[in-house]
Structure formats: C-alpha cells, structure tokens
Amino acid sequence: MTDTLILVVVCFFYGFAHRIFPADVAFLVCCANYVLDSIISLASMASNVYVHDLADTPEEARATISTGLSVNHLITILIALFGGWIWRTLGIEMLFILSAVLGLCNSAYAATIKSPEENKMEVQCT
C-alpha cells in the first residue's frame, strides 16, 4: 500500500510542479520524483516475496507472479496509449490526476489483502 500512496504524491508533483514552483525548483522536484518513482519500482520485488509468503505451494506463487506480470504488461501498454491521448487532449495535469486515482484504487484493493497471520487465524476458526 505504501508504494501506491507514494505514487499518488509522485503523480501530484509530476503533474503540478510546473504550476506550483518556479522552473528551477520544479525541475528539482521532478528529479526527486524520479528517484521516488524508481524506489516504487523496487517494491515489486517486495511484492514477490509477499506472494511467496501467502502462497500455499511454490506452484501457486509462480502462477500468481506470472499472472501479475502479464496483467501489468498489458496494462502498461494500454495506459501508455491511452495516457498519450489524455495528455494531448486533456493536458498533463489530468493525466497525472487519473494516475493518482488509479494509485488510490490500488491502495484500497491492497488493503483488502489479508496478512499470512490473518489467513492462518481464519483457517483455524473454521
């Protein structure tokens, strides 16, 4: 969840840094955003470790990670095409607002995922 909440902040400053700050400060803000965006990318490795913790078998973990990579790839291609259209027709601000909204949706969904301890407690109770 933390990575998507950071994404919301990154999207905000990518979209509005040029309106909030003078050009030289906006450039530095975008540089800091680039670093934060790179850190977010590293979170995918943590997600893979988490999937291994949640999965009952190695096969389940492999299938989950493989499906996730495939879905991410598909969404990345579609978002790039659709994002270019949004940027051109509605502006960069709207593009990053929509990206931030997608990040919030991702965080809300991630909040529904139970921890391994919660899963074990649920199994014991049933």
Q: How far apart (Å, rounded) are the C-alpha atoms in residues 120 and 1?
A: 21
**Burial (Cβ within 10 Å: 0-12, 13-18, ≥19) of residue 46:** exposed
- Where in the chain are the domains? 2-125
Q: What is the mean pLDDT of residues 98-120?
A: 80
Q: Tell me the pLDDT band of 106, cut-offs 50, 70 and 90.
A: confident
Q: How far apart (Å, rounded) are the C-alpha atoms in residues 43 and 8?
A: 15
- pLDDT reading at 124 higher than 70: no
Q: Tell me the pLDDT band of 4, cut-offs 50, 70 and 90.
A: confident
Q: How far apart (Å, rounded) are the C-alpha atoms in residues 123 and 118?
A: 9
SS3 55: coil
Which stretch of DSSP H or E encloses residue 52?
A: helix 23-54
